[in-house]
Amino acid sequence: MKLLAPLMLAAMLAAPAIAAAQDAKGPAKPDLAKGEAKYTAVCAACHGADGNSGIPANPKLAGQHPQYLVKQLQEFKSGKRNNAVMTGFAAMLSDEDMKNISAWLAAQKAKPGFAKDKDLVALGERIYRGGIPDRQIAACAGCHSPNGAGIPAQYPRMSGQHADYTADQLRAFRDGVRGNSLQMNQVAAKMNDREIKAVSDYIAGLR
């Protein structure tokens, strides 16, 4: 018993140090295998087996910044981003699931898209690269980068995204249906349908 007391005291003194060392390592790394399994079970039917959706109304997710994907999933789950279908699916996911899925998607190769409307692509390029100065519409490239790669943790990758999906989101931002980005609400509010269609088609062909 005399030996146990010092041992117990030593263990108690060591516990905070061990905990601090574990905290210093930071959060656990995402598990890509679990992410793939959960994605296949919950998401693949709509977004494609490798995150390259073949359905124009559903976004391509392959190669997207993981922080952005986690944020969107969390906001679907909380209701901050309103979508009846995605709210239901996001409700099935834990925070760990979201991180694992997002990390796995970020590691997938995004397939390129292409512009379809030759008559509007020049207008789309002008808006994407230079905005519309006389109406204080900022250039998309300022936040999403000239090649559509985006800025990790802040602005999503856009290059190659389905034009139908991008146009739907811009209209949703403009009309206040999607309210989880004040910046995008303010930009889209100044755009008409032709401009939205043009820039969405141009984005689809970005490399």
Total domains present in the chain: 2
Same domain, 84 and 122: no
Mean pLDDT in each 10-residue stretch from start to end of the chain (207 residues)?
A: 47 48 66 98 98 97 98 97 95 98 98 91 96 95 96 92 98 96 96 98 95
CA nearest to 51, candidates 69, 39, 66 = 39
Domain coverage including residue 140:
118-204
Number of C-alpha atoms within 13 angstroms, CB side, residue 50? 7
Judged by DSSP in three states, 90 sits in helix
Same domain, 93 and 136: no
| Domain CATH number, residue 44 | 1.10.760.10
The β-bridge partners of 137 are 132
Domain limit, last residue, from 106, 133, 152: 106
pLDDT given at position 118 = 86
Q: What is the C-alpha to C-alpha distance for residues 81 and 107, in angstroms, rounded to an integer?
A: 25
- Cβ-contact 125, 204 below 8 angstroms: no
| Confidence (pTM) | 0.85
Domain limit, last residue, from 54, 82, 106: 106
pLDDT given at position 26 = 62
Q: Is residue 112 part of a domain?
A: no
81: left (phi over 0), alpha (psi -120 to 50) or beta: beta
Q: Provide the terminal-to-terminal Cα distance of the chain, rounded to the nearest Å.
A: 72
